[in-house]
Amino acid sequence: VWGAKAIGSIVAGSILAGAVDASIRGVSAPYAVIGGGVIGLCTAHYLRRAGHDVVVLERATVGAGSSSGNAGWIVPSLSAPVPGPGQLGFALRSLINPDSPLYVRAASVPGMLGWLLGFARRCNRRDNLAGLHATAALAAPTMQLYDELAANGVAFEMRTDGILFAHLTVEGAREEINALGPLAEHGYCVPAQPIVGADLHTLEPALTEQVRAGVMVEGERHVAPMSLVRGLTERLVADGVEVREGASVEGFERAGERVTGVVVDGCALPVSGVLLAAGAWTGQVAARLGCRLPVQAGKGYSFSLAVPTLPCRPLYLADARVGCTPIGNRLRVAGTMELSGINTRLDDRRIEAIVRTARGFIEGGDWDGITERWVGMRPMAPDGLPIIGRLEPYANAYVATGHAMLGVTLAPATGRAVAAVMSGGPNPPALQPFRPGRF
Ligand SMILES: Cc1cc2nc3c(=O)[nH]c(=O)nc-3n(C[C@H](O)[C@H](O)[C@H](O)COP(=O)(O)OP(=O)(O)OC[C@H]3O[C@@H](n4cnc5c(N)ncnc54)[C@H](O)[C@@H]3O)c2cc1C
């Protein structure tokens, strides 16, 4: 059952019309959240609940980055970071194979060499496992926080049907179960056996006969991503937060180690503190504060597919590395990780590569009639982990980015944690692995 009421579309005008001028409202300057994606919006929500005046500054429109066309999965079970054993070989081979699910564009390599070397160094079991445990610990309160958001009047569409990992071979499904093993210590009920044969196709009639085995991860959820963005925005506006669209942050004003203002459209807006949550652009924004944050874009693509039978729940087509989410009466198909620098260029060959690899998995899909082609930039640090915390040397500048494949999953946990730190609380141990100063 969709968890919360349906909402209409929001236009910039209505957001601005509902906004309250922070300068009229309070005696102190507001906290500025830079970026209207899920991370910025969730953090703004928790900052407001902690009693702060808040303004969200979004260059385009809320959700314009990677928070709209993504797959919408809430999946702490996918806590393993992208760099891992075998990924380096994959990345190197992709230099000559643009169909590869992890694709490094050769022409972009010189511009991101340092980042790529950092990524390569983390492609080992030890770092991957450490990252998995750190991320799973951060994600621990996720489902409870999503329920609280809904209970607190954030209207969004959420379902709780779990996720099914679909494999072409039983052996592949068994490997999946092994990979999920370390999550057991975080309270996950990892299935002991794959689901095979008729049982699988009874559970999920949308899969073709080619798919031989499945791993059902109960307890996972999904949202309609744009409903979450809109729901958060509406709630913020109702709570008196100003959500300014078309507001590109061009620079900062400083006094010693304090940020005193942000510059938007040539005008300085006085602030009490800032949060940099500008997704894949966060490194560029941090550079204007003289700080180095190695954030690159892990570009992903999605499109909408008409199917005769809508899957009962999201499907991970593991052999193709493609995710499928039922949204409305169509299937959103999402995949690929393209390292080609920070740009929103949509390369149709990458969409065609998803179509070629995934079409054998879904019964009767209209693969020649796909619509809503979309590209988004997952913000990625070289170690594949989020970057969350205070941005040294500043006393009142903070960052929350680098959530890679898990921004929707981790947004409430990140928002709550970083808002608590911005409110003067201690840095919780769960945030240690994500400190911005680690680079
Ligand atoms: C194909 C695909 C599928 C995905 N599927 C999932 C999934 O199923 N589950 C999951 O958990 N995650 C998923 N993700 C990842 C998730 O989408 C991201 O991690 C998340 O959206 C990042 O959110 P963000 O708020 O950090 O960045 P963004 O959503 O990119 O928001 C950043 C915002 O900052 C704004 N901005 C930039 N510069 C400035 C500036 N100078 N001034 C003001 N504003 C600025 C931008 O306009 C943008 O709106 C997927 C991603 C992709 C690409």
The reply to whether ligand 1 has any atom less than 6 angstroms from the CB of 376 is: yes
The residue to mutate among 39, 66, 399, having the most atoms of ligand 1 within 8 angstroms of its beta carbon, is 66
Task: Mean pLDDT check: name the lowest of 7-11, 172-176, 204-208.
Answer: 7-11
Task: Mean pLDDT check: name the lowest of 57-71, 81-95, 373-387.
Answer: 81-95
Give 95's pLDDT tier (boundaries 50, 70, 90). Answer: confident
Q: Which residue has the higher pLDDT, 9 or 67?
A: 67
Confidence at residue 89, expressed as pLDDT on a 0 to 100 scale: 83
Mean predicted lDDT score pLDDT of the chain: 92
The reply to whether ligand 1 has any atom less than 6 angstroms from the CB of 73 is: yes
Contact 182, 129 (CB under 8 A): yes
Residues 6+ positions from 290 with CB-CB distance below 8 Å: none
Report the SS3 class of residue 332.
strand
Residue 109 has pLDDT above 80, yes or no: yes
Closest by Cα among 367, 332, 339, 372 to 353: 367
Residue 358 has pLDDT above 60, yes or no: yes
The rounded distance, in Å, linking the Cα atoms of 114 and 125 is 21
Phi/psi at 252 (nearest 5 deg)?
-135, 155
Q: How far is the CA of 69 from the centre of ligand 1 (A)?
A: 9
Angle, helix 225-238 to helix 38-49, in steps of 10 degrees:
30
The structure tokens 């049982």 sit at 199
Give the torsion sign (CA, 397, 270, 411, 333): negative
Confidence at residue 188, expressed as pLDDT on a 0 to 100 scale: 83
Give 88's pLDDT tier (boundaries 50, 70, 90). Answer: confident
Confidence at residue 284, expressed as pLDDT on a 0 to 100 scale: 98
Amino acid identity for residue 261 in this structure: G
Give 27's pLDDT tier (boundaries 50, 70, 90). Answer: low
Confidence at residue 91, expressed as pLDDT on a 0 to 100 scale: 76
**Which residue spans within 218-329 are E strands per DSSP?**
221-223, 242-245, 249-255, 258-264, 267-270, 273-276, 296-305, 315-317, 322-327
**Which residue spans within 310-433 are E strands per DSSP?**
315-317, 322-327, 330-339, 371-380, 387-390, 397-401
The reply to whether ligand 1 has any atom less than 6 angstroms from the CB of 407 is: yes
Confidence at residue 361, expressed as pLDDT on a 0 to 100 scale: 95
DSSP lists the bridge partners of residue 159 as: 222
User: ∠245-289-104 over CA atoms, to 5°?
Assistant: 75
The residue to mutate among 338, 378, 387, having the most atoms of ligand 1 within 8 angstroms of its beta carbon, is 378
Task: Report which ligand 1 atom has the smallest distance to the Cα of 325.
Answer: 8
Give 227's pLDDT tier (boundaries 50, 70, 90). Answer: very high
Amino acid identity for residue 323 in this structure: G
Task: Report which ligand 1 atom has the smallest distance to the Cα of 280.
Answer: 30
The reply to whether ligand 1 has any atom less than 6 angstroms from the CB of 433 is: no
Write the CA distances from 123 to 87, 111, 178, 266, integer angstroms: 6, 20, 19, 43
The two most distant CA atoms of the chain are separated, in Å, by 68
User: ∠183-354-294 over CA atoms, to 5°?
Assistant: 60
Amino acid identity for residue 186 in this structure: H
Section 135-159 average pLDDT = 97
Q: Is the peptide bond before 294 cis (omega within 30 degrees of 0)?
A: no
Contact 172, 318 (CB under 8 A): yes
The residue to mutate among 33, 58, 70, 163, having the most atoms of ligand 1 within 8 angstroms of its beta carbon, is 70
Residues 6+ positions from 255 with CB-CB distance below 8 Å: none
Entry pTM: 0.94
Angle, helix 125-139 to helix 407-422, in steps of 10 degrees:
70
* Percent of the chain clearing pLDDT 90 (strictly above): 87
Confidence at residue 211, expressed as pLDDT on a 0 to 100 scale: 97
The rounded distance, in Å, linking the Cα atoms of 141 and 80 is 17
Residue 226 has pLDDT above 50, yes or no: yes
Confidence at residue 28, expressed as pLDDT on a 0 to 100 scale: 84
Section 290-309 average pLDDT = 97
